[in-house]
Structure 1
Amino acid sequence: MRAKFGIDAPGVVRTLALLGVALGVLAWPVFALLRAAWGGAAAVAVSAGLALTALTLLTQSVWMVYSSLVAKHRLWHRTLDGLALRGDERVLEVGPGRGAVLLRAARHVPRGHLVGVDLWRAQDQSGNGRAALLANARAAGVADRVEVLDGDMRDLPFPAAEFDLALAGLAIHNLPAGERARAVGELLRVVRPGGRVVILDFEGTAGYADALRQGGADAVHTSARHWSMHPPVRLVTATAPAARP
């Protein structure tokens, strides 16, 4: 059995693809109608605009699929590899979905324990659900080291300093803007002194970095945009403080 991680934001991908196809199909009859009514120049201008818009939408949908299936995995592999983990860490991910990031982290901590906490919203990932994550964990041979809980990232059911590493990938932006700092604060709270927080997202990253600084985190860093994914993303990394404020 092979792990299957689905597509992120499937509704958005589907809408972009359907609109792209519809506008592409519409371009030719619009050209024919406008050519008869307004002449060739106007018909070419309007139909070309429709065709270009269609191509843009289709490109975005394909890019998002590539992001889910390829680019996200590569970026997280490089990111986790760069943390120089010991291999026995306790790792938390909020919003793990079907486990693409959490199970990749499992490869970097072969003696560690991993916990995923999610509300499992179908609009965030195709086939989203705790059963899908656990099935993928079994397929990857790491089910004995993976724990899955229902829960809200704004109110994590763990004591302080429970984990060595806390991850959030394309998850925090789903919260209302006013609630995101609370979720970031929870990630920092449950990480032990000297532990790491890593957040990947396409919006709100400046606010995440500010929330980490306000929480007393050290070495807060926001990366440049990574254009291999669509929408382009940034990574926010930080180290939990040795002494809590």
Structure 2
Amino acid sequence: MKILLEYQELPQYLRRYFFGFDKNLRFVGLLNPLNAPHHFKSYEWCEYREGVVLEKCKDQLPFVDVGLSKNVLIDKKVDPGLRVTVKLPRDPPEGIDENSGDIHGSVVAPGEPRSEKGYYWGYSVRVAKSLSEVVTGCTFPGGYDLIIGTSDKGVDAKKAEFSEFSHALVVFGGVEGLEAAIEADSQLRGSEPSDLFHYYINTCSRQQVRTIRTEEAVLISLCVLHDKLSEKGIKG
């Protein structure tokens, strides 16, 4: 699952650099493409693009493959093989070919396209070995300030009124639900959902089947929660 999620997030032109042959990827052609804003075609211009640092250099500065027909010369030394976010001139050059001059770009923080321009710029994948690690392993300073558990035993999501938040976490269980995940975690054994989650909700209140697949529950829940979370999310 980790490999598949990372493969889907990566722009297509970078996949040959970061993914070799892997048996877990033999059916990736069946996956629906994300078509995320940072998945550009070679003829599309944007002031930000994802790239990989190449061995090729000029005046000790490396070139980066950002998926254009020509590589970009960046402004600082970076080890080859690393993924970087590159900022380009706002307007494209008149022509991009082997005879034209170098395209210059600068390496910026991966979050800049989101913070400066409001672009959705993909996601990162974190693997947790237990439910407690899902919560405590948060990479944001101060952790998650809104934690939502989903369960058919929770309250109807339509009735939930969330508090304002900066970083939210929505947790889904397996076939046996989050209750089983809590019981299986030695750090949480004996705990109640109310001890772990700020809200414990049912996003499929009219469920007419015994179980809903997690991949189905994620899509249903995000649709149900989208407006409620958008209203309460604190930007910046």
The answer to whether TM tops 0.5 is no
For Structure 1 versus Structure 2, the TM-score category normalised by the shorter chain is under 0.3
Q: Which has the higher contact order (CA 8 A, sep 6+)?
A: 1
Question: TM-score, length-normalised on structure 1?
Answer: 0.27
Q: Counting helix residues as a fraction of each chain, which structure ranks higher?
A: 1
